[in-house]
Amino acid sequence: MAITKKGIEKKEYIVEKAAAVFVQKGFTAVTMEDIVEACGISRGGLYAYYSSTKEIFEDIVFREKNVDYSFFTEGMENEKNSIQILTGFFEQQKNELLRLDTTIRRAVYEFFLFHKEAALEDAVKQNYRETVSIISRTLAYGIARNEIYKITFEDTEKVANHMIILLEGLSILALSKQISRDLIDEQLEIMIKNLI
């Protein structure tokens, strides 16, 4: 069987193939039929592992590797300039923004707009909190090094939230209104300017 490739779990295989479908069509529009087709397996074969698109979708999102924070931690350990660390992070986010239609993230947005799912919600919130935390610590690090002086230690969390919210806003604009690379650059620049 071409399906059970040596050493690859069937579930992993399904999740991988299904992810491509969700990326393209979003969550709501996807049917079990679509996934059967994308996987090249039978209805029965699929139902043996998953009994709804929601189950599959959750699995995909949970398996998504979390954000990699080593960028921040290593930067601070090596005593790099805080502004450089943040700028690098923004650069990385910008690149993701520009290829948002090739990741599962767009489908996740759609999912949350009209579906409630506590488990997924918790996962996303957790991720959000972690990101706020690491940015916040980086800001504090920058303040301590006198590289960031327009905000105080008390502001770090607020400002970290502010940054992420702006990135979310840019995401939505990128998805629905096709904003330019220049606008993104310009906006990220403003954020830096509000720090130094």
Total of chain residues touching its own copies, rule CB under 8 A: 36
* From the list its own copies, DNA, none, partner contacted by residue 45 (C-beta under 5 to 8 A by kind): DNA
CB of 54 to DNA, least distance (A): 10
What whole-number distance in Å separates Cα of residue 34 and Cα of residue 53?
Answer: 10
Instruction: Let me know: does 46 contact 32? Beta carbons within 8 Å.
Output: yes
Residues forming contacts to DNA in the complex (CB under 7 A) are 1, 3-4, 10, 31-34, 41-45, 47-48, 51-53
Is residue 104 a contact point for its own copies (CB under 8 A)? no
Burial class (CB in 10 A: 0-12, 13-18, 19+), 89: buried
Q: Which of 21/151 has CB closer to DNA?
A: 21
Pick the closest to residue 77 from 155, 134, 20, 29 (CA basis): 134
Is residue 162 within the footprint of its own copies (CB under 8 A)?
yes
Report the nearest approach of DNA to the CB of residue 36 (Å): 7
Which residue from 28, 51, 84, 95 is in contact with its own copies, where contact means CB under 8 A? 28
Toward DNA, which CB reaches closer, 49 or 112? 49
- Can you tell me the distance from the alpha carbon of 55 to that of 90, in angstroms, rounded to the nearest whole number? 33
Q: In the chain, which ranges are E strands?
A: none
